[in-house]
Amino acid sequence: MRQDKSKRKSEWISASDVGRSEFCPNSVALKYAGAKPSRRAVAAQDRGNLKHEQFNRQISTDKRCYVASYLYGIEDQRTETLRQFRDNTLDYMPGGRILIAVYYRLSPMVIEISKKSSWVDLVLRRIVDRLVLRAEQRGKNHDS
């Protein structure tokens, strides 16, 4: 049996509508009934959108770099070098984005193991030191 496309489409609710229904349970029903939001509601939505935009701009610089922060400190230049490599190189490569995701998933566990074993800590430090050197060299080559 063939369904009417307009009927199928109306069965779907967007994620935005689901979120709105948390604040106003009748919002979805009102929207699909053709009700228009009040000026006050539109102004509140505009203020909320502005706050979201400001928040997104504030966090657009990703400060996470767990292993380097653990080894060198959050504001250390080596940590910043690795962040720049992540943001300017890895993030533009499909494989790089996968590597970043795997890194964020595994690095807290690696740090915990490193804290418990001086041998692992030493090996980790040597690996990351080499990565920093390569990232610095790559940065210098791009600047030339």
Q: pLDDT tens digit string along 4-49?
A: 554 445 567 777 777 777 777 887 888 888 888 889 988 988 888 8
Residues 75 and 136 reside in one and the same domain: yes
**Residue 107: other Cβ atoms inside 10 A:** 18
Residues 70 and 139 reside in one and the same domain: yes
CA 79, 82, 88, 94 dihedral sign is negative
- Total domain count, the chain: 2
Instruction: Print the domain residue range for 123.
Output: 66-143
| Greater model confidence, 6 or 125 | 125
Say if CB 43 and CB 87 are below 8 A apart. Answer: no
Residues 86 and 137 reside in one and the same domain: yes
Residues 12 and 42 reside in one and the same domain: yes
Q: pLDDT tens digit string along 111-120?
A: 999 999 999 9
Q: How far apart are CA 110 and CA 113, in angstroms?
A: 5
Asked whether the predicted pLDDT for residue 58 surpasses 60, the reply is: no
Q: How far apart are CA 9 and CA 36, in angstroms?
A: 20
Class of residue 81 by CB neighbours under 10 A (exposed 0-12, middle 13-18, buried 19+): buried
Q: Taking Cα atoms as reference points, which of 43, 15, 42 lies closest to residue 28?
A: 15
- Tell me what pLDDT residue 52 has: 77
The residue among 13, 39, 58 that closes a domain is 58
Q: How far apart are CA 113 and CA 117, in angstroms?
A: 6
Read off the tokens for 9: 């489409």
